[in-house]
């Protein structure tokens, strides 16, 4: 399953176990068979470029800035070959600016045929960046659909729609 | 003894050591797991008898168990261990907690017994009544004495080790029981009532909150490494070794994660005026006293005198004239 699905925890720092960004990104490829040395280098470079980490490739991931560390965690998750990435509360403790950056990163990766399953309480983030949403209540599915559809009906379940949605609906 | 005998003795001796060190570790990793440790080191809300007790009573119970286990004969500790383990059934998700308690007890018994048995000399064992004849189970190679091993492992030393372990099991289970049925806030307030200094209590509460988080983070970090392909090239039989490797690799990032959290805790504590005593950050009303008025009068006098001196031609001294 690990080949197809990657997981980035809320505290993504705990994923960063290698001493350089380059090693961190190539970790999965090194641990799994079937990747030649040349492919390893090419793929690592590809992900370094994709996440704008080329300049930081020799640095210790734990010494990078918050945004860079998150990008390293995402790059190492995707480099495992996974096309589906599960993220736990990726927006927690972040301001609007950083949430927008994350949302744009995810949207850009979605265009490259990656899928993200995001667990979050941030309705605004979901409304602005998700293509589909599912509302869970104590482990049970309550609603499923596009954010527009769900937030239109969400009042029934006591869920307050985000301000963006309310403004748009007038 | 022939060469084959010497080789056998050496290999078997090292295997015995590995058993003593490895079995508790294997039990911890396999049977309990880090997620199990997380469960038995954190509070979960429930409504049974234990949860309704006053926190002071809960703390007193744990202290009494500690004193009795440390002072009484081994079988008292064993009875207490059994009683406390059974009381785990009354906790939330009791059956699982009881099972975890049993695994933990086995781990402690093997670990402590093996920690004591090879190092306890016959002189110590001879203090016990009716123990003058020793049954040697195994004789270590002579160089084991450099590691502090007594030359012969006796049945009596193993029994002694098992007896000693009963103290540790009762104390460990009682401490975990206290943690599982009390919120950190309850502990904080109760210890304050006893007059324990706030700094000390605060450290305990932070530890109570942090320990389950460490286990949780370690557990996630290890699982993610396996998801990322660790050990995928080797046989499943070596999984335990890779588990250890993953645990070792996780130490630094988990430590960094916890320390970053500690910084936030420190900031939160500061903003809530933690330890804001007179000597530290206490807000004193600042008012003007008579001494201040005198000081201002002197300062004003100096300014006026300087002004008069400048006007009278004593402004710039000669060396500064161009």
DSSP string for A40-97: HHHHHHHHHHHTT-GGGTTS-GGGS-HHHHHHHHHHHHHTTT-SEEEEESTTTT--HH
Contacts of A93 in chain B (CB under 8 A): none
What letter does residue A160 receive in the DSSP assignment? P
Choose between B267 and A20: higher pLDDT: A20
Looking at residue A55, its pLDDT comes to 92
For residue A88, what are the contacts with CB-CB under 8 A and spacing of at least 6? A7, A8, A9, A10, A119
Span B181-197, mean pLDDT? 83
Min Cα distance B255 → chain A (Å) is 9
For residue A30, what are the contacts with CB-CB under 8 A and spacing of at least 6? A40
E strand or H helix at A6: strand A5-8
Interface test with chain B among A3, A7, A8, A11, by most B beta carbons within 10 Å: A11
Radius of gyration of chain B (CA): 32
Q: Distance between CA B206 and CA B184 in Å, rounded?
A: 8
Span B85-104, mean pLDDT? 90
Considering chain A, what is the average pLDDT of its residues?
A: 88
Q: Distance between CA B315 and CA B307 in Å, rounded?
A: 9
pLDDT exceeds 50 at position B251 = yes
pLDDT digits (tens, 9 = 90+) for A88-121: 988 887 788 888 888 888 888 888 889 999 999 8
User: How many residue pairs from chains A and B have C-beta atoms closer than 8 A?
Assistant: 62
Percent of chain A with pLDDT strictly greater than 90: 36
Contacts of B253 in chain A (CB under 8 A): 13-17, 62
Is A53 within 8 Å of chain B by CB?
no
* ipTM score over 0.85, yes or no: no
For helices B198-227 and B184-193, the axis angle rounded to 10 degrees is 160
Yes or no, beta carbons of B227 and A27 under 8 Å apart: no
Q: Distance between CA B42 and CA B179 in Å, rounded?
A: 6
pLDDT exceeds 70 at position A1 = no
pLDDT digits (tens, 9 = 90+) for A47-66: 999 888 999 999 999 999 88
Alpha carbon dihedral B161, B167, B172, B177, in 10-degree steps, equals 140
- Diameter over CA atoms, chain A: 57
Considering chain B, what is the average pLDDT of its residues?
A: 84
Min Cα distance A33 → chain B (Å) is 6
pLDDT exceeds 50 at position B322 = no
Looking at residue B30, its pLDDT comes to 75
Q: Is the dihedral of CA A41, A42, A43, A44 positive or negative?
A: positive
Per-residue confidence band for B281, with pLDDT thresholds at 50, 70 and 90: low
Q: Distance between CA A53 and CA A63 in Å, rounded?
A: 13
Min Cα distance A161 → chain B (Å) is 30
Looking at residue A120, its pLDDT comes to 92
Per-residue confidence band for A27, with pLDDT thresholds at 50, 70 and 90: very high
Interface test with chain A among B224, B248, B252, by most A beta carbons within 10 Å: B224
Contacts of A27 in chain B (CB under 8 A): 228-229
Span A3-25, mean pLDDT? 90
Percent of chain B with pLDDT strictly greater than 90: 16
Q: Distance between CA B192 and CA B186 in Å, rounded?
A: 10
pLDDT exceeds 70 at position B203 = yes
Contacts of B230 in chain A (CB under 8 A): 31
pLDDT exceeds 60 at position B321 = no
Task: Read off the tokens for B60.
Answer: 């007193």
Yes or no, beta carbons of A2 and B220 under 8 Å apart: no
Nearest CA to B11 out of B140, B162, B148 is that of: B140
CA A111 to chain centre: 14
Per-residue confidence band for B297, with pLDDT thresholds at 50, 70 and 90: very high
**Collapsed DSSP state (helix, strand, coil) of residue B86:** helix
């Amino acid at each position: 399953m690990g080949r197809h699905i990657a997981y980035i925890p809320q505290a993504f720092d705990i994923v960063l176990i290698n001493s350089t960004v380059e090693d961190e990104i190539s970790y999965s490829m090194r641990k799994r068979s079937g990747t030649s040395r040349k492919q390893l280098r090419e793929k690592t470079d590809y992900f370094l470029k994709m996440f704008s980490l080329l300049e930081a490739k020799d640095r210790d991931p734990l010494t990078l800035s918050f945004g860079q560390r998150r990008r390293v965690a995402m790059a190492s998750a995707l480099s495992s070959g996974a096309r589906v990435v599960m993220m736990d509360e990726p927006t927690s403790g972040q301001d609007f600016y950083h949430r927008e950056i994350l949302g744009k990163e995810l949207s850009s990766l979605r265009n490259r045929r990656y899928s993200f399953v995001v667990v979050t309480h941030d309705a605004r983030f979901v409304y602005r960046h998700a293509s589909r949403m599912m509302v869970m209540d104590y482990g049970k599915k309550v609603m499923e659909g596009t954010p527009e559809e769900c937030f239109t009906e969400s009042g029934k379940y006591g869920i307050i729609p985000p301000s963006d949605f309310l403004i748009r609906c007038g | 003894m022939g060469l084959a005998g010497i080789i056998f003795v050496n290999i078997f001796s090292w295997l015995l050591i590995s058993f003593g060190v490895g079995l508790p570790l294997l039990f911890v990793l396999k049977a309990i797991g880090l997620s199990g440790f997380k469960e038995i080191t954190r509070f979960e809300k429930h409504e049974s008898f234990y949860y309704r007790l006053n926190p002071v009573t809960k703390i007193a119970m744990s202290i009494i168990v500690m004193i009795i286990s440390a002072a009484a004969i081994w079988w008292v500790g064993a009875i207490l261990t059994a009683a406390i383990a059974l009381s785990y059934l009354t906790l939330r998700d009791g059956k699982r907690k009881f099972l975890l308690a049993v695994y933990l007890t086995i781990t402690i018994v093997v670990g402590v017994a093996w920690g004591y048995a090879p190092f306890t000399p016959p002189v110590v064992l001879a203090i016990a009544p009716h123990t003058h004849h020793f049954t040697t189970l195994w004789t270590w190679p002579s160089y084991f004495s450099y590691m502090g091993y007594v030359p012969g492992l006796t049945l009596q030393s193993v029994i002694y080790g098992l007896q000693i372990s009963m103290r540790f099991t009762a104390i460990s289970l009682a401490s975990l029981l206290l943690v599982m049925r009390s919120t950190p806030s309850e502990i904080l307030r109760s210890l304050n009532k006893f007059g324990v200094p706030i700094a000390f209590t605060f450290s305990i509460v932070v530890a109570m909150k942090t320990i389950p988080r460490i286990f949780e983070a370690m557990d996630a970090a290890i699982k993610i490494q396996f998801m990322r392909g660790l050990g995928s090239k080797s046989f499943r039989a070596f999984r335990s070794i890779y588990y250890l490797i993953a645990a070792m690799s996780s130490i630094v990032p988990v430590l960094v994660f916890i320390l970053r959290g500690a910084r936030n805790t420190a900031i939160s504590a500061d903003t809530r005026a933690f330890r804001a005593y007179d000597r530290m950050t206490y807000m004193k009303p600042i008012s003007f006293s008579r001494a201040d008025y005198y000081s201002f009068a002197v300062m004003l006098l100096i300014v006026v005198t300087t002004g008069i001196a400048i006007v009278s031609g004593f402004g710039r001294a000669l060396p500064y004239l161009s």
